[in-house]
Structure formats: C-alpha cells, structure tokens
C-alpha cells in the first residue's frame, strides 16, 4: 500500500513540475536580456508570484528533509514515526525540493549561485546512488543487515536444498 501511495505522490509531483516547466518554457528559453519584456516575467522570475513560491517550497523541503537526521540520531525524536517512513519523506524532499529550486532560479545560474546549484545537484545524485547501494545490502525478514557469516550460512543452506 505504501509503495503505491509513494508512487502516486511522485507521479503527481513530477506531473506538477512538468506542467509548470512547460507553462514557463517560453520564458525559460528567452535570452536573459529579453526576459523582462516577456509577458511571463512577472510570474516566473525568481521574485515573481510563481517563481518566489517555488523557491520557498523547495527551500522548506530541503530544510525539512534534515528532520530525518534528527529522527535517526536523537532519542527524543524516535516517536516521530517509523524510520523507513522518515527515510521516504527525506528522499522525496531531497528530489522534489531541488527541482523546485531549479524552477525558481529560472535556469539563471551564474556567479556564486552556480557553485551552490551544482553542489546541491551533486548531493542529490549522491543520495540517489546511496539509496540504490543501500537497497543492495542483504537483509533478513526484519530488515536487519545480514553479516558476512549469515550470508555465507544462508548460501550453504540454499546449496544443500538444491
């Protein structure tokens, strides 16, 4: 059930982001010097009605995704729910938040901001790679990591059964 819900949340979120991006595409493809004369400028510029909101939502997502670290490391926050649910929220905020910030910036990346932008993307993609590697670690039914001895013992048992 949870997998389907998360799949739906991702589909809806990516759909909204694609809708916003395609709606603003004429603005994003306009050269920087001509953007103030584009009719979409007041809405999609970084300080515009839509652009500013995207920046706020994306920034809040990236701040709130740090709650996973609190939940994982500080005993007082253990009541915040299951660790796996917090991890799913962390991953969601870590993917969607930067995408919203990219739309907020209206793809105008120069100066010191570009260093922050590329750093943010490196962290996002390293998180995706980390999640992929995390899923490759063998686990038992309770979700605990299997030690090398347990993996070898399980392999021997399967070999005997075959």
Give mean pLDDT, residues 100-115.
82
Q: How big is the chain by its Cα radius of gyration, in Å?
A: 21
Record the tokens describing residue 90, joined without a space. 């962390």
Please choose, from the candidates 53, 149, 144, 147, the residue with its C-alpha nearest in 3D space to the C-alpha of residue 101: 53
- Compute the C-alpha angle 11/80/123, nearest 5°: 55
pLDDT, position 78: 78
What are the residue boundaries of the structural domains of the chain, listed by start? 2-161
Q: Tell me the whole-structure pTM to 2 decimals.
A: 0.75
Instruction: Say how many C-beta atoms besides its own lie within 10 A of residue 62's C-beta.
Output: 19
139 φ, ψ (degrees, to nearest 5): -135, 160
Q: What percent of the chain has pLDDT over 70?
A: 96
Instruction: Say how many C-beta atoms besides its own lie within 10 A of residue 98's C-beta.
Output: 20
DSSP state of 147: P
Interval 119-154: pLDDT, tens: 888 888 888 888 788 777 777 666 667 777 887 888
């Amino acid at each position: 059930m949870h997998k389907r819900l998360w799949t739906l949340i991702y589909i809806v979120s990516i759909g909204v982001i694609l809708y916003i991006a395609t709606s603003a595409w004429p603005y994003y493809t306009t050269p920087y010097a001509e953007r103030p004369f584009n009719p979409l400028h007041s809405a999609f510029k970084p300080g515009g009605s839509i652009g500013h909101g995207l920046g706020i939502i994306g920034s809040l997502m990236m701040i709130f995704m740090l709650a996973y670290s609190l939940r994982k490391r500080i005993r007082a926050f253990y009541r915040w729910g299951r660790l796996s649910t917090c991890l799913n929220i962390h991953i969601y905020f870590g993917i969607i938040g930067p995408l919203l910030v990219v739309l907020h910036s209206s793809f105008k990346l120069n100066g010191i901001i570009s260093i922050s932008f590329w750093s943010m993307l490196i962290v996002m993609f390293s998180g995706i790679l980390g999640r992929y590697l995390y899923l490759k670690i063998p686990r038992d039914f309770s979700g605990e990591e299997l030690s090398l001895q347990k993996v070898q013992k399980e392999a021997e048992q399967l070999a005997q059964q075959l």
